[in-house]
Structures are given as structure tokens and as C-alpha cells.
């Protein structure tokens, strides 16, 4: 009997053991920042209307999605009373037990949407990089929470604070950590030595947006793609040198939130006021040319896709995304023409939102009602396979009816991790229910 219980415990913990997180979720939108979950052996459909929760951990409010690396889960939050503080938490991925937490004073001042930090923690080579809504950057030893180095970016770079705070998740490229921070005097984008925090380079005099930068391959080199408040820019990640820039402004205020998307030689950005823009990354030299721009300054916003928080994706000759009213759309990637739209995946209200993650031929959709959906998106339409409640909406992120779930989930070790304003939860998505069976006697 004792041996049986021990063997069951080992099996129950196995997905979180050594080697199990071959495809961790160590940064914003996954290992490659492309919103693709590459694990196999996951469920085809849910067993019922509610997904069984493996563990819960109490946290406070925030917009940042969790990240997962080396059997640890990282998330940030904010406590507003009696003092305003931001916190960085690290939990055991198998049990939800708190491994360490760090907090620091953080008055939000004039920042709107005050629920908490926006940027997901980035984990790289045993270090965790946390960036708060007012620019507090901390590099931790991921295992212990010991601070390696830290910097008050707002003060160091004289940041022109965006209306909704600093939101773009840190990007590690080589031996640098790169931030879109909105500093003055040519320091919108900065690169720091990831081991020491020392400045490496700074670039652009633009205002910051909320869009997390990515790196693409172009013309035989690595190109940092950064979407600022006013343009899409390709930089040399080693020096900050500008390779190319494409003007893409705003009407009333900067509203670039979704990340740029690269598929082969195509680069897509989309925002509510100027629609969707598809650029071609030229192969012979680091330059770009326009393929199409639908809903731009000279077009009707209703023509294409006006993404807000949902980062779209390109799949062959089509692209898929959700606009700021909760409408899921498919566009022809060759022309920008609309192919279909769907109004069932999430709520049909202003700021109705969802996040999409691809796994094989399926798309996992987490919507603002806290539901996880398994679907198949194709030029023929939206095919919903299964839907279940994962976590309840809460009110701090947006005080509307019973609230929203705006944070991006993490998928790792055949599990999903997601937070609201009250808790972080973990649920198994493994096929066959092996964890549940192993945990029973």
C-alpha cells in the first residue's frame, strides 16, 4: 500500500519534473513569442462545463499573464491599500506553493487602468526579469528570488509615461535584455546587459506603445521589430541601428497593444484606429514594402481587422484576429479582404477580448469570460470543438458587470496557468486524465 501511494505520487508529479517542461512558457506568448504551443498529448475536448483546477494560489490584481520555466510559475500583482506596492511572485508549478515573493513601493500616479502590472515576467538562463507599470525593472535569480540587479527606468531614462503605464514585456536577445520604455532623448527602446543591467544602447525618440517587441530573421540577420506609438521599426538588436521604419500613427492616443506578427517574409500589425497593415520583409536587404493596409488613414475601419489586445496570427493565405468589440475575423492575407466573422467566441461589447494560442491544427481561445475554447479556424469558418469555464471574471481589471479576464494564459507541461484579480490557477490539459488517475487511490 505504501509503495502504491508513493508510485502514484511520483506519477502525479512527473509532468513537472526534470525534462517535462521541454516546451516551457518562459515569456510573453510562449518560448518564441509567437503564440504557438508545441506540446502533444493534450485533450481533444473537455469533460464538462468546468475545467477541474489542480491548484489555486491567492494573489492580488494585475493584467500580466503568468510565465512558466523550470517548474516555476511567475506572476506580478498590485496591492493598493494601505500603501501602493507591486509584487513579483514565484510558485511551484506542481503544487502552487509560494517559493518566493518580492515587493516594492509603487505609486501609480496618473496611470489609468490601475489594477496592476501589465508585462509578463521574462525568464532566461535561470534569471527572471520583471518590469512594473511605472518602470521598476528587477532581475532575480529565478530559483531563490535573490535580486541580481535592478533599475528604476522611469528615473534612469526620463520616461514619458504612457497613459496606461509601461506594458511591453522585456525581450532577451543574446546577452541583452531589451525594453520598449518610452525614455526621452532618443531612449524609447533601450538594451541592457542582461547579467549586470548596464546600458548597452538606446534608440528612437518615439513615444512608447504597449506592444511587446519581437525578433525576426531578415536578409540573413536578426532584426528587432518594435512597434512604437507612431511607427513600426526594424532595428539591429546588437547596436540599435535603424534598418527601416514605417509610419503607423494614432488618432487620439497611442493604442498599439497587440504584438507584431511575423510569418516568413510577412509582418502584420493591427490596431483599432488604423486597422491592419501587412508589410513584406525584403530578402535582399533589411527594408520593408507594403503588401496592403486595410482600414488605414484613407480606408474605412470596418473593412478589415482592428485588433485591440488580441494578437492576430497568419496561417498560409489567411489571417485571424479579434477586434476591439469582440468580433473574431478571418481575412485573406493576400488582399486584406474579409472572409468571415464570428460573434460567439467572446462577448460582443466594447473591449470584448480573447487570446489565441495555436496547437497543431487547433486554436485554443481564452476569452474575457474566463472560458477556454478548443476550436478549429479555417477559411471555411469557425468550428468550435469544446468550451469550458476555467476561471471566473473579476472586477479590478475592468469594472463592468461581473468583470473580465484580460490576462494571457500560459501553457506548459500539458497544463494551463491563468490568473484573475484574486488567484492564480493551474489545470491539467493532459490527454487521458493521467494526473487525476495517478492522484487517486
Per residue in 201-224, pLDDT tens? Answer: 999 999 999 999 999 999 999 999
Does residue 92 belong to any structural domain of this protein? yes
Q: Which residues contact 399 (CB under 8 A, 6 or more apart)?
A: none
Q: Which residues pair with 428 in a beta bridge?
A: 415
- 385-431 pLDDT, tens digit each: 999 999 999 999 999 888 999 999 999 999 999 999 999 999 999 99
Does residue 55 belong to any structural domain of this protein? yes
- Quick one: 361 exposed, middle or buried, by C-beta within 10 A (0-12, 13-18, 19+)? exposed
Distance CA 55, CA 425 (A): 6
End-to-end C-alpha distance for the chain, whole angstroms: 10
Does residue 239 belong to any structural domain of this protein? no
Q: How confident is the model at residue 176 (pLDDT cuts 50, 70, 90)?
A: very high
Query: What's the grid cell of residue 160?
Result: 514619458
- 274-287 pLDDT, tens digit each: 899 999 999 999 99
Does the pLDDT of residue 3 top 80, yes or no?
no
- 290-340 pLDDT, tens digit each: 999 998 655 555 668 999 999 999 999 999 999 999 999 999 999 999 999
- The domain containing residue 129 runs over which residues? 1-133+409-441
Does residue 32 belong to any structural domain of this protein? yes
The answer to whether the beta carbons of residues 215 and 178 sit under 8 Å apart is no
Q: Please tell me the predicted confidence (pLDDT) of residue 349.
A: 86
The neighbour count for residue 201, using CB atoms within 10 Å, is: 18
Does residue 123 belong to any structural domain of this protein? yes
Compute the average pLDDT of residues 23-36. Answer: 97
The answer to whether the beta carbons of residues 74 and 121 sit under 8 Å apart is yes
Does residue 45 belong to any structural domain of this protein? yes
Least confident of 5-19, 77-91, 142-156: 5-19
Distance CA 422, CA 410 (A): 17
Q: Please tell me the predicted confidence (pLDDT) of residue 301.
A: 56
Distance CA 186, CA 195 (A): 24
The answer to whether the beta carbons of residues 261 and 240 sit under 8 Å apart is no
Does the pLDDT of residue 14 top 60, yes or no?
no
For residues 244-262, one letter each, b for 16 or more C-beta atoms within 10 angstroms of the residue's C-beta and e for the rest, the string is bbbebebeeebbbbbbbbb
Element (H, E) at 12: helix 2-13
Q: Please tell me the predicted confidence (pLDDT) of residue 253.
A: 85
- 256-271 pLDDT, tens digit each: 999 999 999 999 999 9
Q: Among candidates 250, 230, 229, 255, which has minimal Cα distance to 112?
A: 255
Q: Which residues contact 239 (CB under 8 A, 6 or more apart)?
A: 201
Q: Please tell me the predicted confidence (pLDDT) of residue 302.
A: 60
Does the pLDDT of residue 22 top 50, yes or no?
no
Q: Please tell me the predicted confidence (pLDDT) of residue 6.
A: 39
Average pLDDT, the chain: 92
Does residue 205 belong to any structural domain of this protein? no
The neighbour count for residue 50, using CB atoms within 10 Å, is: 11
| Residue ranges with strand state E in 282-317 | 288-294, 313-315
Compute the average pLDDT of residues 145-167. Answer: 98
- 328-372 pLDDT, tens digit each: 999 999 999 999 999 999 998 888 999 999 999 999 999 999 999
pTM of the model: 0.93
Does residue 384 belong to any structural domain of this protein? no
Query: What's the grid cell of residue 232?
Result: 513600426
Q: Please tell me the predicted confidence (pLDDT) of residue 440.
A: 30
Looking at the 3D structure of the chain, how many domains does it have? Answer: 1
Torsion of Cα atoms, 54 then 169 then 219 then 199, to 10°? -130
Amino acid at each position: 500500500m505504501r509503495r502504491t501511494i508513493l508510485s502514484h505520487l511520483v506519477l502525479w508529479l512527473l509532468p513537472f519534473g526534470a525534462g517535462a517542461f521541454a516546451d516551457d512558457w518562459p515569456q510573453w506568448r510562449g518560448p518564441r513569442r509567437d503564440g504557438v504551443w508545441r506540446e502533444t498529448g493534450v485533450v481533444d475536448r473537455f469533460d464538462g462545463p468546468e475545467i477541474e483546477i489542480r491548484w489555486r494560489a491567492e494573489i492580488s490584481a494585475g493584467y500580466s499573464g503568468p510565465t512558466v520555466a523550470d517548474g516555476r510559475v511567475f506572476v506580478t500583482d498590485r496591492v493598493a491599500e494601505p500603501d501602493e506596492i507591486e509584487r513579483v511572485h514565484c510558485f511551484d508549478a506542481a503544487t502552487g506553493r509560494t517559493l518566493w515573493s518580492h515587493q516594492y513601493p509603487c505609486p501609480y500616479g496618473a496611470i489609468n487602468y490601475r489594477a496592476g502590472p501589465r508585462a509578463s515576467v521574462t525568464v532566461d538562463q535561470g534569471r527572471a526579469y520583471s518590469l512594473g507599470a511605472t518602470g521598476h525593472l528587477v532581475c532575480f535569480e529565478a530559483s531563490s528570488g535573490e535580486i541580481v540587479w535592478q533599475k528604476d527606468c522611469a528615473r534612469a531614462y526620463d520616461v514619458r509615461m504612457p497613459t496606461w503605464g509601461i506594458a511591453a514585456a522585456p525581450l532577451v536577445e543574446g546577452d541583452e535584455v531589451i525594453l520598449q520604455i518610452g525614455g526621452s532623448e532618443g531612449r524609447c527602446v533601450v538594451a541592457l546587459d542582461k547579467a549586470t543591467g548596464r546600458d548597452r544602447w538606446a534608440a528612437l525618440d518615439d513615444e512608447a506603445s504597449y506592444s511587446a517587441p519581437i525578433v525576426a530573421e531578415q536578409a540573413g540577420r536578426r532584426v528587432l521589430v518594435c512597434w512604437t506609438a507612431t511607427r513600426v521599426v526594424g532595428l539591429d538588436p546588437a547596436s540599435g541601428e535603424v534598418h527601416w521604419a514605417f509610419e503607423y500613427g494614432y488618432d487620439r492616443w497611442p493604442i498599439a497593444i497587440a504584438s507584431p506578427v511575423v510569418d516568413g517574409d510577412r509582418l502584420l500589425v493591427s490596431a483599432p484606429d488604423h486597422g491592419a497593415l501587412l508589410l513584406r520583409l525584403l530578402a535582399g536587404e533589411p527594408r520593408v514594402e507594403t503588401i496592403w493596409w486595410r482600414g488605414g488613414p484613407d480606408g474605412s475601419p470596418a473593412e478589415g481587422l482592428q485588433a485591440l489586445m488580441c494578437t492576430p496570427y497568419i496561417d498560409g493565405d489567411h489571417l485571424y484576429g479579434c477586434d476591439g468589440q469582440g468580433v473574431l475575423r478571418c481575412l485573406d492575407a493576400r488582399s486584406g479582404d474579409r472572409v468571415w466573422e464570428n460573434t460567439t467566441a467572446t462577448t460582443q461589447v466594447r473591449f470584448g477580448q480573447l487570446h489565441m494560442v495555436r496547437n497543431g491544427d487547433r486554436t485554443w481561445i481564452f476569452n474575457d469570460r474566463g472560458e477556454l475554447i478548443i476550436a478549429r479556424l479555417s477559411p471555411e469558418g469557425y468550428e468550435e470543438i469544446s468550451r469550458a469555464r476555467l476561471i471566473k471574471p473579476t472586477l479590478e481589471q475592468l469594472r463592468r458587470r461581473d468583470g473580465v479576464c484580460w490576462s494571457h494564459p500560459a501553457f506548459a507541461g500539458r497544463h494551463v496557468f491563468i490568473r484573475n484579480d484574486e488567484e492564480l490557477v493551474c489545470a491539467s490539459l493532459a490527454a487521458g486524465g493521467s494526473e487525476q488517475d495517478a492522484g487517486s487511490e
